[in-house]
Structure 1
Amino acid sequence: MESTIQLERSLSTRDLTIYGIIFMIPVAPVAFYGSFLTPANGMVALAYLIGMVAMLFTGFSYAAMAHHYPYSGSVYTYVQQGTNAGLGFIGGWGIALDYILIPTITYLISASFGNELLPAVPTWAWILGIAVFNTLINLAGVNFVSKFSWVLFGLQLIVLLLFIGSTLRLVFLGQVRPNTVALYNPQHFNISGVLQATGIVIVSYLGFDAISTLAEEAHDPRHSVGKAIIGAIVGIGSLFVITTILAGWVSPQYKLLNTNTAFSTIIYNVGGHNLVRLTDIVVVLSFGLAGGQEGQTAISRILYAMGRDGILPKPLAYLHPKYRTPWVAIILVGIVSLALSLTLSQDTVSNLVSFGALFGFLLLNLSVIWKFYIQNNNKKFKNTLKYLISPLIGFSVSLWIFLSLDIDSKIVGAIWLIIGIAILLYKTKVFTKATPHLHFN
């Protein structure tokens, strides 16, 4: 009965692009700007720009895989098809850690801002309400999630346009003077500091890969998924760079800012209390609902793919007969995210969230090189550029950031991978049986 139900194809390239942009949260600098200021010596826009270019190379690898394997599962499916089923499971298991923690970190940030807006509402109540609401939205179907994403994208765009417009108004009035300090400040330029900040900033780009988890719910996924991934990286990167350049215009003396309230102070300087309050409301909605919803959507599709293959329990692949959504996986993710949000701190989750994604990126880039360059006899310049040089750059950038993660992240990540290896050994009876997976046409 369950096998006769399939995911509903309803998403266009534009829907997928907006999904990816929303996942990466256009108003993210409001929450994170202060933490980037010191290591970047104020050149936050430069760090965002370098991060965008760096992530594009891994984005190209995703696009190449999506063109050849237009199926749900993201890294799990791509590494499986590019190398073998066992390595594919480990890659998918690794990136699952990132996706499991994304709803958690977004709930915690949203609850923090929500508690500032309405101190009478306890943090746990914010988290519970957001988790239940997001689970219900996800159960209703990805088309509903997509429509909700458009609304939340519109709200974020309004806040950013108000900030941009208010800043330009002060420029015309002569109260703000354009400068280049956010991109290049010769008095404080330090490339090692900028690169250190880039390693932190790159977290803002994690999530573009979630687009690939919706391949079986997209029209023409061979073309739309890759286009959406590249479009989302460029789109969100451009928003980040423009926003932080203007922030540098408003407050060029970055050392005078409180790192905990840096961007809120900048917004207050250009738009007053009303714009700050509107921004706080949109941040609550953007992190808690937009980021949380789409994180839950992504991890539920990865669990769906693993359940369908049989490497994880089959019920994870059960689709709701009416809404055609992986309802068991969605509810499980909702419960786990709620439990983690109520027990872990924001700092703890922030330090763990990058491990899984970067581990997956490493395996994905290597899979592209192996599948399309080493195993392919065509070594023309175009293929060398597309299937060797580009993924090699993507691999190198991911490895550099991966190695710079703190020791706690590496320890927890290693434990998570050991659990995955144990599952793989159990399912294959220590590799005496083939790793369960589907054979795609």
Structure 2
Amino acid sequence: MSTVSQTTKSPRLKRVLGLPATVLFGLAYMLPLTVFTTYGIVNQITEGHIVTSYLVTLVAMLFTAASYARMVKAFPMAGSAYTYTRKTLGGNVGFLGGWALLLDYLLMPMITYLVIGIYMHASFPAVPQPVWIVLSLVIVTALNVAGIKMVSKASSVLLVFQTVFLLVFAAMGIRAATNNPMPSIVDMMIGQGPGTTAIFAGSAILCLSFLGFDAVSSLAEETIDPKKVIPKAIILVTLLGGVLFVIISVIANLAFPDWSAYTSVDSAALDVTHAAGGAFLEAFFTAAYIAGCFGAVLASQTTVSRILYSMGRDGVLPRRVFGYLHPKFRTPVYSTLAVGAIGLLALVIDLTLASSLISFGALSAFTLVNIAVIKHYYIDQKRRSGLDAVRYLAAPAIGVILCLWLWSSLSMSAFVVGFTWLAIGMVYLAVLTRGFRKAPPELPVADD
């Protein structure tokens, strides 16, 4: 095992995860039931063609997931898009890539805490919503401090509960669909749709469902044999999650085909589950969704704490705080507590604004990772012959185009707030580098 003098006496993240645990972590982060979170909104935008939007998003994300898989082979380290862009495109671009990525990761736990509070308060009106938010935040933060193995086990259990619900929903939804006129596949996919613009607008929203593969890449320093395990896990999580989202959307559309008749587009899942299985399935959905939210927030808070740790270890963020590992648990305890503190914004923030920011940050980071593949393999390593030209130029270039196309479909509010966030990052970077006269600090870390 190679070492670096600066890190010889420092504790390291534990390598304890194998392929199954890593895949389950990514799927838990993606939250299989997240398809119902934006189901009504996207189905209304696309006039009943959410399945097509999911397929477009899946294709775009597979190209990007392939780029993540290639970059983790080159740099099997914590930090995800921040690490890849920094190592290939330079410290300044790497910082901005990490800054864009922070936008979605910092807000993902917060949104999930907010959703937990909303649903739990609806089920138990006597308990104020803020109580549920704070209680769930304390439990999840404590599990994250305890270690990645504890998080992995808890996420896996909650994922099983969601899977049971999805199997019951599929059976009852298919049975309910037999009572409705069966549309043709062409009508469901294309029909008299609203056109390409609306399909891509829906796809831009749905890309939030696929953040699990990015979360997997951040666990490279806690995975056994990461150069083999992480690339496989990234592709499997993207493919399995995408196929699952498509199947659920098909069943939901068949069980409740009239997209214009939702009681509320924000809670269209309640109309769908009630149509599929009555009050029983509606109550089962609420319980499974809350369980899924806990699994997702466990995974998302773990991911962003590792990204903050990577940036703190490099000195881009204060090293004593964000680059610190607990000597016993070997987890980035201060980074984890910082993410928990940000989660308290769930008490006051607007859900719509936060969702827009996540889309902006995710697609910005995805674009940079695709560019990083071209820079590292095709330009720097000159791997340009035969299939290498496809792997390291054509495929990531398609990924860039698809991500930018989805990115351009976001709302104006997403651009305003997103570019404001990037402007803040630029100012901080200017201060950090003394007016860009020196490179951002970096701590070289040898990989085990």
Q: What is the TM-score of this pair, normalised by structure 1? A: 0.94
Structure-to-structure mapping, 1:244-283, within 5 angstroms? 244-258=249-263, 259-283=265-289
Which residue number corresponds to residue 104 of structure 1?
110
Q: 1:410 aligns with which of 395, 407, 415?
A: 415
In structure 2, do the counterparts of structure 1 residues 418 and 186 end up closer, same or farther at CA, with 3 Å as the change threshold? closer
Bigger CA drift: 309-318 or 67-76? Answer: 309-318
Which residue number corresponds to residue 153 of structure 1?
159
What is the CA-CA distance between 1:189 and the residue it aligns to? 6.1
**Matching of residue 427 in structure 1 with residue 432 in structure 2:** yes
Structure-to-structure mapping, 1:198-213, within 5 angstroms? 198-213=203-218
CA distance in 2, matches of 1:170, 1:354: 34
Amino acid in structure 2 at the alignment position of 1:28: T
Which residue number corresponds to residue 64 of structure 2?
58
Which residue number corresponds to residue 307 of structure 1?
312
The CA deviation string for residues 235-259 of structure 1, in whole angstroms up to 9 with x for no partner, is 1111111111111211222222332
Q: 1:394 aligns with which of 384, 395, 399?
A: 399
Q: Is the 8 A contact 1:17 1:229 kept in 2?
A: yes
What is the CA-CA distance between 1:145 and the residue it aligns to? 0.5
What is the CA-CA distance between 1:133 and the residue it aligns to? 0.8
Which residue number corresponds to residue 125 of structure 1?
131
The CA deviation string for residues 70-129 of structure 1, in whole angstroms up to 9 with x for no partner, is 000001111111121221111111101110000111111222222221111211111111
Q: Is the 8 A contact 2:84 2:369 kept in 1?
A: yes
Q: Is the 8 A contact 1:40 1:193 kept in 2?
A: yes
Would you say how many aligned residue pairs link Structure 1 and Structure 2?
437
CA distance in 2, matches of 1:161, 1:110: 23
CA distance in 1, matches of 2:192, 2:322: 56
Amino acid in structure 2 at the alignment position of 1:108: L
What is the CA-CA distance between 1:265 and the residue it aligns to? 1.5
Amino acid in structure 2 at the alignment position of 1:64: R
What is the CA-CA distance between 1:270 and the residue it aligns to? 2.1
Which residue number corresponds to residue 6 of structure 1?
12
- Ranges in structure 2 where 5+ consecutive residues have no aligned partner: 1-6
Q: 1:371 aligns with which of 367, 376, 396?
A: 376
Which residue number corresponds to residue 175 of structure 1?
179
Which residue number corresponds to residue 237 of structure 1?
242
Amino acid in structure 2 at the alignment position of 1:439: P
Bigger CA drift: 419-428 or 120-129? Answer: 419-428
CA distance in 1, matches of 2:413, 2:52: 28
**Matching of residue 361 in structure 1 with residue 345 in structure 2:** no
CA distance in 2, matches of 1:222, 1:268: 45
CA distance in 2, matches of 1:304, 1:28: 27
SS in 2 for 1:119: coil
CA distance in 1, matches of 2:195, 2:421: 36
**Matching of residue 136 in structure 1 with residue 150 in structure 2:** no
SS in 1 for 2:435: coil
Which residue number corresponds to residue 319 of structure 1?
325
**Matching of residue 193 in structure 1 with residue 198 in structure 2:** yes
Q: Point out 4+ residue stretches in structure 1 off by more than 6 angstroms.
A: none
Bigger CA drift: 251-260 or 185-194? Answer: 185-194
Give percent identity, aligned residues only: 36
CA distance in 2, matches of 1:67, 1:90: 22
Bigger CA drift: 357-366 or 422-431? Answer: 422-431
CA distance in 2, matches of 1:438, 1:177: 62
What is the CA-CA distance between 1:375 and the residue it aligns to? 2.2
Amino acid in structure 1 at the alignment position of 2:304: I
Q: Cα RMSD (Å) of the superposition?
A: 1.8
The CA deviation string for residues 328-382 of structure 1, in whole angstroms up to 9 with x for no partner, is 10011101111x1112011121121111111111211111111111223332131
Amino acid in structure 2 at the alignment position of 1:135: T
Bigger CA drift: 411-420 or 291-300? Answer: 411-420
In structure 2, do the counterparts of structure 1 residues 175 and 124 end up closer, same or farther at CA, with 3 Å as the change threshold? same
The CA deviation string for residues 40-72 of structure 1, in whole angstroms up to 9 with x for no partner, is 111111211111111111101100000111000
Which residue number corresponds to residue 93 of structure 1?
99
Q: Is the 8 A contact 1:61 1:365 kept in 2?
A: yes
Q: 1:83 aligns with which of 76, 89, 95?
A: 89
SS in 2 for 1:328: helix
CA distance in 2, matches of 1:127, 1:2: 40
In structure 2, do the counterparts of structure 1 residues 180 and 3 end up closer, same or farther at CA, with 3 Å as the change threshold? farther
Q: 1:217 aligns with which of 222, 237, 241?
A: 222
Amino acid in structure 1 at the alignment position of 2:118: S
The CA deviation string for residues 140-192 of structure 1, in whole angstroms up to 9 with x for no partner, is 10111000011110011011000011123446xx5355434684252446333
- Ranges in structure 1 where 5+ consecutive residues have no aligned partner: none
Which residue number corresponds to residue 344 of structure 1?
349
CA distance in 1, matches of 2:119, 2:131: 13
Q: Is the 8 A contact 1:180 1:245 kept in 2?
A: no
CA distance in 1, matches of 2:352, 2:440: 36
Q: Is the 8 A contact 1:167 1:176 kept in 2?
A: no
In structure 2, do the counterparts of structure 1 residues 389 and 261 end up closer, same or farther at CA, with 3 Å as the change threshold? same
What is the CA-CA distance between 1:420 and the residue it aligns to? 2.0
Which residue number corresponds to residue 189 of structure 2?
184
Which residue number corresponds to residue 38 of structure 1?
44
Which residue number corresponds to residue 25 of structure 2?
19
CA distance in 2, matches of 1:198, 1:90: 25
Amino acid in structure 2 at the alignment position of 1:331: L
In structure 2, do the counterparts of structure 1 residues 12 and 191 end up closer, same or farther at CA, with 3 Å as the change threshold? same
SS in 2 for 1:54: helix
Bigger CA drift: 257-266 or 317-326? Answer: 257-266
Q: Is the 8 A contact 2:200 2:409 kept in 1?
A: no
Q: Is the 8 A contact 1:180 1:248 kept in 2?
A: no
Bigger CA drift: 5-14 or 114-123? Answer: 114-123
